[in-house]
Amino acid sequence: MGSDSHNQIPVIDFSTSSTELDRGTEEWYSLCKRVREACENYGCFEIVYDKIPLQLKAETFSMIRPLFNLPVETKKKNVNPKPFHGYYEKTPIAPLYESFGIDDSSNYESFRSFTELMWPNGHDQFCNTVVTMVKKLDELKEMIEMMILDSYGLGEKLNSIIECKTHLRVTKYDASPSGEYANGLPPHTDKLVSTILCDDQVSALEVETKDGQWVKCSLSPTSYVFIVGDLLMAWSNGRMHSLKHRAMMSGEKDRYSLGAFSSPVEGTIIKAEKELVDKEHPRILKDFDFKDFSRFAFTKEGSAIDSEMQVFAYAGIST
Ligand SMILES: O=C(O)CCC(=O)C(=O)O
Ligand SMILES: [Fe+2]
């Protein structure tokens, strides 16, 4: 079934043309409230944000396109022991989908290691441009995280939700044969904390609302999507909604997207924030190691379970 174009995800404008978004101001708290409502009711929102220069974004996309034209044996050098963290080639389940994953990608040195695997003689422009873009996405993510903490009254107590590094995933979707509506990436919830996505204005992202409708997200050059992943849902003790989403291709153009995933540092145990557990919101999950959970999600047993139910199958508390 196609998407319902009458429905829309919340759009929150973070543009700061005249004023800065200062923490503690009335404007700040009104945004905190809207961010929390969007994450609880939809599991996502569109961000209008003018602090990332359009030129930088355009340059980033022009830098990542040639990655996909490298020889397949070069692309396969992008390996990562964590499941779904390295190069992902086309498969019968997702024949239009191909992606690379780069750990700790706002760190120049780790990004350079990836760059040198792809271009052994180095590629400074690629490295500088993409790292600059990821740092901008990190700033945006930090602001959203602070808003989430303030929205629950936790901003004085905590500096971050879960200590994370940014895992970057760059994706190419081939145009579907004869432009028909076709699966780019099957429905899933993200297995990490949160994701900020942007694309090259070829729309394909669709998100599922809580009442089961699929809604298409057509992004403008200044917009981004914030997505609640399974681990943010777990941290919030189920108050925030882990978003089911997919990519559906149509039309003649290939599509490129960029996802900045907040990935917990090694050894992180995911726990519901204790202030978010009370009589009205009893604990829904046991504490778990995020790496064991993501491994489980990609086992035969785990992948047979609906994506949004995997975390409950792994760590759910039966009542
Ligand atoms: O390309 C997109 O818009 C979605 C990508 C996505 O959902 C993912 O990589 O988890
Ligand atoms: Fe996703």
Hey, what amino acid is at 12?
Answer: I
> What ranges in the chain are assigned the alpha helix state H?
26-41, 54-64, 72-75, 108-118, 124-151, 230-235, 290-297, 300-303, 310-315
Indicate which atom in ligand 1 lies nearest the CA of residue 255.
1
CATH number of the domain residue 179 falls in: 2.60.120.330
Whether the predicted pLDDT of 154 surpasses 60: yes
| CA 199 / ligand 1 centre spacing (Å) | 10
* Distance in angstroms (rounded) separating the CA atoms of residues 113 and 317: 41
> Which ligand number lies closest to the CA of residue 257?
1
* Distance in angstroms (rounded) separating the CA atoms of residues 104 and 106: 6
Structure-token pair, residue 217: 């997200």
Whether the predicted pLDDT of 198 surpasses 70: yes
Q: Which domain holds residue 296?
A: 3-315
| CA 169 / ligand 2 centre spacing (Å) | 10
For residues 99 and 116, the answer to whether their CB atoms sit within 8 Å is: no
For residues 30 and 38, the answer to whether their CB atoms sit within 8 Å is: no
In which residue are the tokens 């086992």 written? 299
Q: Structure pTM?
A: 0.96
Q: Mean pLDDT, to the nearest integer, of 3-18? A: 73
Average pLDDT, the chain: 94
Q: Give, as one character, the DSSP assignment of residue 174.
A: P
Structure-token pair, residue 89: 């080639």
Torsion angle of alpha carbons 97, 100, 105, 111, nearest 10°? -150
- Smallest Cα–Cα separation from 29: which of 153, 202, 201, 214? 153
Structure-token pair, residue 182: 């076709």
The strand pair at 11-13 and 44-48 is best described as: parallel
Q: Whose CA is nearest to atom 10 of ligand 1?
A: 190
Q: Give, as one character, the DSSP assignment of residue 51.
A: S
Ligand 1 neighbourhood includes 257 CB (under 6 angstroms): yes
Go through 57-82 and write b for each residue having 16 or more CB atoms within 10 A of its CB, e for each that does not: bebbbebbeebbebeeeebeebeeeb
The full DSSP string for 188-223 is E--SSSEEEEEESS---EEEE-TTS-EEE----TTE
Task: Classify the complex by whether its ipTM is higher than 0.90, answering yes or no.
Answer: yes
Number of domains in the chain: 1
Tell me which of 145 and 2 has the higher pLDDT: 145
Q: Which of 189, 205, 248 to mutate to test the pocket of ligand 1 (most atoms within 8 A of CB)?
A: 205
Residue 120: predicted pLDDT: 96
Q: Whose CA is nearest to atom 3 of ligand 1?
A: 205
* Distance in angstroms (rounded) separating the CA atoms of residues 141 and 21: 14
| CA 310 / ligand 2 centre spacing (Å) | 15
pLDDT tens digits for 71-119? 999 999 999 988 888 999 999 989 999 999 999 999 999 999 999 999 9
Whether the predicted pLDDT of 1 surpasses 60: no
Ion ligand 2 — residues with CB < 5 Å: 190
pLDDT tens digits for 272-286? 999 999 999 999 999
Q: Which positions ≥6 away from 124 have C-beta within 8 Å?
A: none
Ligand 1 neighbourhood includes 189 CB (under 6 angstroms): no
The strand pair at 164-173 and 255-264 is best described as: antiparallel
Indicate which atom in ligand 1 lies nearest the CA of residue 204.
3
